Amino acid sequence: MEQRLKPCVKRHGLLFTTMLSALLGVGVGVLVREYGSLSRLDRYYFSFPGEILMQMLKMVVLPLVFSSIITGVAALQSEASGRIGLRAVLYYLSTTIMATILGVVLVVTIKPGEPSHSTNVDLAGTSGKVSTVDAMLDLIRNMFPDNLVQACFQQVNMTVKLYHLIISCLVSMKDYKLVASYSDSINVLGIIVFSILFGLSIAKTGKQGRLLLELFKALNEATMKIVQIMMFYMPVGILFLIASKIIEVEDWNIFRKLGLYMLTVLVGLVIHSMVVLPLLYVLVVRRNPYKFAWGMAHALLTALMISSSSATLPVTLHCAEHNNRIDKRITRFMLPIGATINMDGAALYEAVAAVFIAQINNYALDFGQITTICITATAASTGAAGVPNAGMVSMIIVLSAVGLPINDVTLLLIVDWVLDRCRTAVNILGDAFGAGIVEKLSQKELEMTAGIKFFFTEEPLKNHVSNSIWIDMVYALVLTNPVRIVMSLNFFISIFLIVISLYIYQLCVL
């Protein structure tokens, strides 16, 4: 028993401690707020451990974006040869963009973080209104920075300046002029564009670029090691971050907003998984998408339980190949890649979270900033997919791209562990639908490569997958490791919390 408990505690210890620290942070914050009297300086000192955590996370954003996107694009380019790979990449990119746009539309429409009184704050700090055309030009201008070093710590914004032109003693007129100014935040969009182009260039150089690719792979691995070390400090930082935020909260209405925010994310995930993805499948494959989704039920349940696309991969492969009869040459190529880079649910969640944070801070986002959120959420959900606790790091990337305050990310941690399981299931379903769509479009290529042998072995599937969904779920979650019973209970706790949040929101509205 001890031999089975130790690996499970080691594997899921961070999850348990993070959840515990979040609960302790709420408790400490409420107690200090109600029974303590902290001055402004005392509050600053109290929030210092949490500030250190945010500084540590911001420290790894730049090397993480550079290394992960460059290595991901270069490796994908070399592995995804031919038309099948191109179709897979186009599917992944298009569905992720759709999910991001859907999330932005929902959060702008529902407005879960809208304040009770509207006093818009201009995020860019401009003295005049910037048109949509100017905002789009800012977006393109930041995509191609003239100084890559400067892009690591500044991004350009065009501001409107008012000039008084004195023509004569009696005549004067006003004139507006666009002036370039720089804000102190990482130009994430420019870094992402450069990293994508650099990764494609490395892939095109062939053997000559392998040495450089290995260098960035080593940088990526080293950055992940640094992030893993930081994770040991994360429970302490989260405790003080959440506690300090609760102490500073003047309007307890924020918790009602969090419930509405959770509802917005869940509605977006349901629409994307039950409407958007099935519609794409029907248009291409001309078959019943819900029967296809039912064939993936085993994998979806597993994803809800363990909240990991990579850990669910063996079950996903089994369901796609045996239940939905997808060609193994497609599943063994697409699903492992999709488990790493196809994160529809994460992209939707990050887009909603970024706009929600802007709303609770009463910041007015223009069209260019919303477009930047869509682009960076799409790229960040892909680029940081392999990082432990990638949600917080990815959110910092998205928020930094538009200059939003990153400290408010800690408020979302209270409900993030619930939403993480739901978006993981959406990621799994998106991978499966993609395999079915690409198989339909690649019939000619499959006929030409009928004799190709498979790289992946089927032994893991034979050993761990039975004919019954429920028997295998009991085996995977209980018999192989008793501690996973606790993990499976988290799913039912999540459903309970969702119901409670909806009930609280209904009471607040009434």
Distances 265 to 102, 182, 270, 504 between C-alpha atoms, Å: 10, 33, 9, 17
Chain CA centroid to CA 70, Å:
18
For 116-136, b/e burial (b = at least 16 CB within 10 A) is: eeeeeeebbebeeebeeebbe
Kindly list the domain boundaries of the chain, sorted by start residue. Answer: 2-6+14-450+464-509
Q: Ramachandran region of residue 365, left (φ > 0), alpha (ψ -120 to 50) or beta?
A: beta
Dihedral of CA 107/343/392/420: which sign? positive
Instruction: Give the mean pLDDT of 200-226.
Output: 84
Structure confidence by residue, pLDDT tens digits, 454-495: 444 344 444 444 444 443 444 444 333 433 444 444 444 444
Crossing angle, helix 61-79 and helix 367-383, to 10 degrees? 70
Dihedral of CA 95/61/371/391: which sign? positive
Of the candidates 17, 476, 306, which has an alpha carbon nearest to the alpha carbon of residue 9?
Answer: 17
Instruction: Give the mean pLDDT of 129-154.
Output: 74
Contact of 123 with 365, CB cutoff 8 Å: yes
CA–CA dist 318, 305 (Å, integer): 17
Q: Which residue has the tokens 């990621």?
A: 427
Q: Ramachandran region of residue 171, left (φ > 0), alpha (ψ -120 to 50) or beta?
A: beta
In angstroms, how far apart are the furthest CA atoms of the chain? 93
CA–CA dist 259, 501 (Å, integer): 5
The CATH class that applies to domain 2-6+14-450+464-509 reads mainly alpha
The pLDDT > 70 percentage for the chain reads: 70
Dihedral of CA 268/269/272/278: which sign? negative
Contact of 182 with 153, CB cutoff 8 Å: no
pLDDT reported for residue 153: 82
pLDDT reported for residue 500: 46
Structure tokens belonging to residue 118? 């509207």
pLDDT reported for residue 428: 92
Most confident among 11-20, 101-110, 129-138 (mean pLDDT): 101-110
CA–CA dist 116, 118 (Å, integer): 7
Residue 78 has pLDDT above 50, yes or no: no
Render 434-485 in DSSP notation, one character per residue: HHHHHHHHTHHHHHHTTTPPPSS-SHHHHHH--S-HHHHHHIIIIIS-TTHH
Structure confidence by residue, pLDDT tens digits, 351-395: 999 999 999 888 888 888 888 888 888 877 765 444 445 566 677
Residue type, 250: E
Of the candidates 103, 44, 5, 113, which has an alpha carbon nearest to the alpha carbon of residue 381?
Answer: 103
CA–CA dist 427, 418 (Å, integer): 15
CA–CA dist 464, 171 (Å, integer): 86
Residue 154: burial class (beta carbons within 10 Å; 0-12, 13-18, 19+): middle
* Least confident window among 280-289, 346-355, 494-503: 494-503
Residue 507 has pLDDT above 60, yes or no: no
CA–CA dist 144, 146 (Å, integer): 6
Within 13 Å, how many C-alpha atoms sit on residue 244's CB side?
23
pLDDT reported for residue 311: 65
The helix (run of H) or strand (run of E) holding residue 21 is helix 2-35
Distances 373 to 45, 296, 352, 397 between C-alpha atoms, Å: 32, 31, 9, 10
3-class secondary structure, 121:
strand
pLDDT reported for residue 162: 66
| 331 φ/ψ angles, rounded to the nearest 5 degrees | -65, -40
The mean pLDDT of the chain is 75
Structural Rg of the chain based on CA atoms = 24
Count of CB atoms situated within 10 Å of the CB of 9: 11
pLDDT reported for residue 109: 93
Of the candidates 308, 333, 338, 307, which has an alpha carbon nearest to the alpha carbon of residue 433?
Answer: 338
CA–CA dist 380, 383 (Å, integer): 5
pLDDT reported for residue 99: 94
Beta 363-364 vs 121-122: how paired, if at all?
parallel
Provide the whole-model pTM: 0.64
CA–CA dist 348, 102 (Å, integer): 7
Contact of 216 with 46, CB cutoff 8 Å: no
Residue type, 99: A
Residue 178 has pLDDT above 80, yes or no: no
